[in-house]
């Protein structure tokens, strides 16, 4: 992956942001990064503010669960699907803040 990034970016030093997964912190990755002139920046151990799926999950939870009661699991599941698949205009504005 680092080689492809370096090839697409071109010359010069640049930074790649990674999480702290073992396979991304191994010596081989660090060696390739140094060889290619890539600076590696590792995210803190848990950083939900940088994780798009965590932000989206929190949004869906707020929209579907807060002040809501569902008779059974199928109603709950339907509410989640509606929130995800058919966002109304106001939700679209909230979605745009994720990116």
Per domain, the residue ranges of the chain are: 2-45, 50-96
Task: State pTM to two decimals.
Answer: 0.44
Q: With CA atoms as reference, report the closest residue to 98 among 63, 65, 58, 61.
A: 58
Length of the chain: 99
Each residue of 6-16: pLDDT tens digit?
A: 777 777 778 88
Each residue of 17-44: pLDDT tens digit?
A: 888 788 888 889 899 888 888 888 888 7
Average confidence score pLDDT of the chain: 80
3-state secondary structure of 12: coil
Task: Map 33-93 to HEC letters.
Answer: HHHHCEEEEECCCCCHHHCHHHHHHHHHHHHHHCCCCCCCHHHHHHHHHHHHHCCCHHHHH
How many CA atoms, within 13 angstroms, populate the side-chain half-sphere of residue 15?
5
Token pair listed for 27: 């010596």
How many CA atoms, within 13 angstroms, populate the side-chain half-sphere of residue 12?
5
**Are 32 and 55 in contact, with CB atoms under 8 Å apart?**
no
């Amino acid at each position: 992956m680092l080689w492809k990034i370096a090839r697409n970016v071109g010359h010069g030093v640049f930074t790649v942001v990674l999480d702290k997964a073992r396979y991304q912190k191994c010596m081989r990755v660090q060696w390739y990064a140094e060889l290619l002139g890539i600076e590696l920046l590792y995210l803190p151990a848990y950083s939900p503010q940088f994780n798009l799926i965590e932000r989206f999950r929190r949004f869906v939870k707020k929209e579907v669960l807060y002040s809501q009661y569902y008779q059974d699991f199928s109603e709950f599941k339907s509410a989640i699907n509606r929130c995800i698949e058919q966002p109304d205009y106001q939700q679209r504005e909230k979605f745009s803040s994720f990116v």
